Structure 1
Amino acid sequence: MSVVVVGYVPHPRGRAALEHGVLEAHRRGASLVVVNSSRGDALVDEEFVRGDRLRALHDELAATGLTTEVRQPVRGRDAAEELADVCRETGAELLVIGLRKRSAVGKLLMGSAAQRILLDVDCPVLGVKSPPREA
């Protein structure tokens, strides 16, 4: 079975990545692997999902009707390395990541994590932005 991998953080950009990942997995008839990693400081890392948020994520994934898996590596490596490894291990046909809004200079340079992901991952990468905030 084909696999779609999603890089997830509990922020609007992570929600956007998850939503698009679910859509792509359905479209492709693929399973979904959600990756939420920490460099090793998971207890204080605001981007590492735990407790009620983790249970809610599992419940949300169960409701999709997809075969899903949540991986939470805590190995002292950055997200780009973890995502590249998971994509290789699963033979992913697509990686979905969320992108944050950048300044003019930031747009020129792109985020370092996103840039590394694009360079390190062997499969196609879909970068999505969260919807603009409502006024």
Structure 2
Amino acid sequence: MALETVLLAVGPDDDDRVETLADTVRDVAGPAGATVVLGHVFTDEEFADYTDRMDFDEGGDPDSIARRHRNVKRFRDLFDGSGLDLEVRSAVGPHGEAIVELAEEVGADMVFVGGRKRRPTGKAVFGSTAQTVLLEAPCPVTFVRSG
């Protein structure tokens, strides 16, 4: 399988795993020369909150708002100088479903999602977003956990 496009799902709760995710994606995408798409999803409520706080008109462009998100900026900084082509894409909707849609839209060959370590009783179940992406994505998914 030729790896041309990688989607990295960037979440608001990824603060503690940004470097681990970036390293993992760089290790896979770098040798293949793949384009890395930083995909950030806003729920309807999150999007309305961001547009209000940033003084965007109603119907602001989700991609331009995502470029300003702190974790997207952190990933862009970490990939700076890596030689990888980066794109920022965004969607508004339920996180898991929207990530799957983004993967389809960009023609992703692989998706990376982050998550946290679960307690022993919860190890059999991923978080709902990761689980949706793992089960419904049109391509292989790599789950990168922190903790």
TM-score normalised over the length of structure 2:
0.72
| Displacement of 1:125 | 0.6
Unaligned runs of 5+ in 1: none
Measured in 2, the distance between the counterparts of 1:14 and 1:78 equals 22
- Equivalence for 2:145: 129
Describe the SS at the equivalent of 1:97: strand
Q: Distance in 2 between matches of 1:59 and 1:68?
A: 11
Pick one of 18, 42, 60 that aligns with 2:22: 18
Q: Distance in 2 between matches of 1:7 and 1:119?
A: 15
Aligned to 2:78: 60
2:6 to 4, 9, 19: 4
> Structure 2: which amino acid aligns with 1:2?
E
**Residue 34 of structure 1 pairs with residue 2 of structure 2:** no
Question: How many correspondences in the alignment?
Answer: 126
The answer (yes or no) to whether the contact 1:6–1:34 under 8 Å persists in 2 is: yes
CA distance in 2, matches of 1:37, 1:51: 11
Q: Secondary structure at the match of 2:42?
A: coil
> 8 Å contact 2:40–2:89 — kept in the other structure?
yes
Which ranges of structure 2 fall in alignment gaps of 5 or more residues? 51-65
- The alignment's C-alpha RMSD in Å is 2.4
Compared with structure 1, are the counterparts of its residues 105 and 129 closer, same or farther at alpha carbon in structure 2 (3 Å cutoff)?
A: same
Q: Is the 8 A contact 2:9 2:112 kept in 1?
A: yes
Counterpart Cα distance in 2 of 1:57 and 1:18? 7
